[in-house]
Homo-oligomer: A and B are copies of this chain.
Amino acid sequence: MDKKISDKVIGRLTLYHCILSDFIKENIEFISSKQIATRLNIDDSQVRKDISLLNNSGKSRVGYIVKELKASIEKTLGFKKEKKAFIIGAGNLGSALAKYDNFMNYGLNILALFDNDKNKIGKIVNGKKILDIKELAKLKQELNADIAILTVPREYAQKTAEYLLSANIKYIWNFTPVVLEVPQDVQVWNENLMGNLLQFTYNI
């Protein structure tokens, strides 16, 4: 990236990207900041400000050129940069994420799933094998995977995280409702579904 872009802006740019993808499907060539803003219920000056952070040349008299704006967002946010990941825990959520092919559009390449359940090991989910968790360290090394997507039951979350650290995993995408204890050089992203739920349902 050319400059540091804040998390909030990255979040909004990915939503703009979703809207642009829809417009392309509908063969619409131009889009205005107002059209994006209305869909997200935000101010159009915010949209223009966010887009000004991109190296986007696709501005015309009738609005942004949809394809070029989409490409600018992809370039700035690094969609094309491959990010290799393992899913740890081949339960319902792990399997659902393994089947989510949309990840590939964002550069996320899920190589395999891991579990300790003998009934699951060896099975295939969406073309990805479920492997024995004991193989993790070796395969992390061989395949150069960066990210562990943690979807184990909450009671195994911390113990599993420690095992991931011992395999030299530095990025944990945490789907469990446990706040993991990890060293400072390990990045954890808490997919805090409960926090989102409570924010969202505040007024119910």
Q: Is the CB of A179 within 8 A of B39?
A: yes
What B residues does A43 contact at CB under 8 A? none
Chain A contact-residue range equals: 35 or more
User: Which of A13, A40, A181, A190 has the largest number of chain B CB atoms within 10 A?
Assistant: A190
Q: Determine how close the nearest CB of chain B comes to the CB of A195; give it in whole angstroms.
A: 4
Q: Does any Cβ of B come within 8 Å of A79's Cβ?
A: yes
- With A and B bound together, what is the CA distance between A18 and B194 in angstroms? 10
Q: Does any Cβ of B come within 8 Å of A143's Cβ?
A: no
User: Could you give, for residues 70-81 of chain A, a 1 whenever the CB lies within 8 Å of some chain B CB and a 0 otherwise?
Assistant: 000000011101
Give A contacts to B, CB under 8 Å.
1, 7, 10-15, 17-19, 22, 39-41, 77-79, 81, 83, 91-93, 95-96, 99-100, 102-103, 105-108, 146-147, 154, 171, 173, 177-179, 181, 184, 187, 189-204
